[in-house]
Structures are given as C-alpha cells and as structure tokens.
Structure 1
Amino acid sequence: MVNCFDLLSAKNKRIKLDGDKSNNEKTDVKWPVKRKISKKERKKRLNARMRRLVCPKSPLMVFSELFKDVPIQLQENPLHNVMSYTATLEIDGQLFSGNHISKTQAKQKACENFLRLMLAKKISERSEKKEESSLNVETEAGESSSVSKAKGPPQEDFPWPHFASLAMHNLINQWELQPIVTRTNTCVQENLTIIKPQPKTGAMRKFPENPQNCNPVQLINQLKPGVKFTEVVLNAKTPSLFQVKCVIDDIPFSGQGSTKKAAKKECYIFVSHLILMRYYCMDILNNILYK
C-alpha cells in the first residue's frame, strides 16, 4: 500500500526540480549588449534634431504659428498714384503696425515689431530673475542638519525654437543668401541657392560722332555694354507703376513708368544725359586748353 507521505514528498521534489530548471532557464537568457554611442555620433544626432527644430522662418510665419486666431488688419493708403499698405495687429490691448508697398511685407513688419517687443520683455524678465535667485531650492529641515534639494531643470513656455528659426531667417537675409522656400507637410525647408557673381560692365567704347542724334537705348548699349537693370513693381494695381534701376560707374540711376519698357526708357534717358554732359564738358575743356 502506497503511503500518502511518500506521494507528497515525491510531488514536492518534482516541483522543486521544475523550479530549479525554470530558474536555470531564466539565468541562461542573454540580453543584447547596448552599443556605446561615440561623441561624434551623438553630436551628429543632436545636429539633425536641431535642424528639424530650427527651420528658417519669417516673422509672419512665426506669428501665424504662435497666434493662429489673431487676425492682421490691412489698410490701403494711396499716395501720388502709389498704393501703400498698413498692417495692424492687436495683442493684449497693444497695437503693432507696419507700412510697405507690399501687403505681405507690411504684415512682416507688423509681426516683427511685436516679436521684437516680446523678446525684449523676456530678456529683461530673465535678468530680473537672475538677480533675485539663480535657482529655486527647496530646503527641508532635518534632525541634525538641513538638506537642500533642487526642484529639477527649469521649465518655461517661451517659444525659444521659434525665435531661433526667426534668427536664422534674419541671418540668411542679412548675408543675402536668398533662400528658395519649398513647402512640405512637416516643415518649411529652405534650400540655399549659390549666388553667381554679377557680370562686369564692359569698358566704354568709342564715342559716336553725333551722340545727340542717337537713340538713348542705342547710345547706352554702344558705350556701356552689359549694363544690368533691376525691375521693381511699385504698384501692381491699375494704374500700374514700375521702376527700373541700374548702376554705371558707381552712380545709381532709376526711371519710372506705367510699363517696364517705359521705365527702362526713362532710365536710359537719365544715363544718356550724364554721358552727353561729360562728353560736351570734355569737348569744351579741350577747346579751351588746346585752342
């Protein structure tokens, strides 16, 4: 006859063996060793993360992301057949405005004025807090001595990444890198274009015998070949107004007209007047000296 105590002891031994076996199986598990990241790799990852956070953004883009529900009002100001615009926005009862002949640039200036004041307030606020105390420390009284514990890293809601993006945008404009903005779903990427050197203006050719009978366009093309003209739209609405500029011998010239062709012709006339004046002055001077 089988004893009950023998059955219980055999069962306990089996459970013990199974437990030891499972423990051994657990100890045999080998976890993958974490690969140590080098300083160079860590720096590359940090740069990639900062590149995603800090994209060049204009004042209008930064303002639109921070204050989506704040409208920007536009007002037209016609003056001497030239239309200019005044953009106005209101934050906390304060009005900020910007003027320009372009609607977008007027909004940019208004947003820039607001963001400048916003940053100035934050900088002055930080300097005041620095004078009072560098860190907020929580002091607990103990039996023998007091123990001071820091509350942790400081936290704030100021949008520093947006201002870093604005600073990069201003730096690109200041260095005249002329970024090309292409919109994507994640972020606005700005690809920098390589600035090609401007073609040099050709040397002055032989002066025609009767310059007063020459067309201004023909005269300039003959005497100063390769002159580069810059066209600016002063007023896109009717009546339209265009301005054409050029620089000859470090002297700026400009002309305005209802069409680009008329503005360019007026600029040609101003340049030809200067050239003719120089020609006749030199002719008179030569007659006086060598008479």
Structure 2
Amino acid sequence: MDMSPFSENTSTMFVEVARISRPFPWENAKPYVDASEFADFRQRATTVIGAFRGIVMYSNQVVALNNAKMDDKKKNDQLAKYIEEATRKVSQEGMLDSIGIDAAELKAILADVRNAEVFLEGIAAASPLINAIVVSMGNQLEAIQSSIPKVFASVDSKIEADYADRKSNYANLVRLQVATMRGMTQIYKARRGDQAALDTLLREDPSVKELIPSPEKATGKSLAAAEAVLTDRAMKLDTFIHQMDSEAATYRAKRRELSDWQMSVEEKIKIARDAIAVWAQSHRNLGAGIPVPPLIDVGGIAKGLAKTVVPLP
C-alpha cells in the first residue's frame, strides 16, 4: 500500500502544529512571565509539544517500514519497537499510567502487533494504544486550558499591584479636573446672575471661599479672580494628566497583551485537539487499508491551520 499520502499528510499537519511551540512575543508584560504559574504552564506545553514530535517520528518510521525490503513478520517486530519508543515519548516522564495503560496492557498490545500476519494488521493492532494516546493528549490539553485562568489571574494581579498607586493618582487628578471645569461653569453662570450656581460653587469648592467668602460678597472682581485661579488649576491638572498618559498607555498595553496571550493559547489548544483527532483517524484508516486522502484532506486542514496558528508561550 502506498503510504506516502499518510506520511505527507501527517508531516505537513504536525509541522504546522509544531509552529505553536514558538514563544509568545511578549513585549510590555514580559517582566511578569517568570511567575511560578507560568513555569508550570510552560512545562505542560513543552510536554505536549514533545508528544506531538514523538507521534511525527513514529508516523515517519511507519512509512519507512512499509518501504523496507523485509517480510511482514520482521516489519511488525520493528513496528512494535517503534510503538514502544513512541509510547515512552508521548507518556509524561515515561510513566505509562499517564496515558491510561499499564505495563501489562502495553505488553499485550505489542504482542498483538508482533503476531499480526501482515503489516497493516500490525498497524491496526496498535489501535487500543492509539486511542489511549488520543485520550491522554486530550487530558493534557484540558489541563493546560484549565490552568489558563490561574496564570492570567497571577499576572493580572501583579500588573494591578504595580500600577495601583499610579491608577489612584491618575483617577484623583481626573476627578479634580472634572470638578475644576464644573466650577468654571458655575462661575460663568454666576456672572449671568445665577445665584444657585454661586451657592453650588462655594459648597463644592471651599478653596474659592478665600476669594468669595459668601454669595453676598461676590463681586465682578472676585468672580474674575476665582475664575483665574480655577483656570490656572485646570491648566496644571491638564499638564499632570498628560504626563501620566504614557504610563496609562503602558498599563493598558500590558493588560491588552495579557488578553492576547489568553486568546492565542485557547486558539492553539483547539488546533492541537483537531490535529491529534485527525492523526488518530488517519492512523486507524491506514490500519484498515482505507486510502487516507479521499477521507481526510489533512494537508488542506494543515494549510488552514497555518493561517491561524499562534505561538505557545
């Protein structure tokens, strides 16, 4: 059977998926990614990427065996060795229970592979293990996805802690600016004879009382002096706020970058899930002697993934 389509489809798909192993391009929030939560997250991601590479290597070995000039008995003996090697790579730290099987089950599966009369039957005999690997990979991806909120919250809290005082100062300046502009509006109304506006001004901004002790003592000169004070204050506040605008922009950029990271990881997890599902189906079809291309356009899927693929952290 011609396995070149299986090889090309598998390699193409997993080469594209392997691109997600590139680090996320942190810029503004880079100082925060050394948190312990990120270290754990990165380790989980590294384990999954290693498993994908093990699957790609195994798939290429299957194709090489098919093309080798040896009888099917020897091919299946070698296939069993490759399957065992791949199983160790896919399992976490070589622990078989991480993929839901034990040593006895693995031994039985390998025996079935070796005892198969033809090569494709040997591939088919590995199906229970392939199914276990798919479940394990799904569980690992689920663990990564479940850890996203914890990592996000950790970094988010650090950003908030770093900017808490500056955010408070910025908010206070903006509030004072709004109050000052409102005071200037009240002076304008008072000049037009609005007594209530003058009462509001003196009640909301006690500093003006130095110039206008009471509504009864308000004069055109005192109102002009109060307006000059508020105008000067408004200009200074505007300067202070603009000086803090760059810090506010950096704060927003850090928060935005953190959100971008979260969305990118969630997208990559979806890509990885689709990839392992397509590969498993392709492997099962191969063992059953079903031509892969008519059933699954893996290459086409991979090209589609390449357009949306984003790097792992």
Instruction: Tell me the TM-score normalised to structure 2 length.
Output: 0.26
TM-score for both structures, normalised by structure 1: 0.27
Instruction: Give the helix-richer structure, 1 or 2.
Output: 2
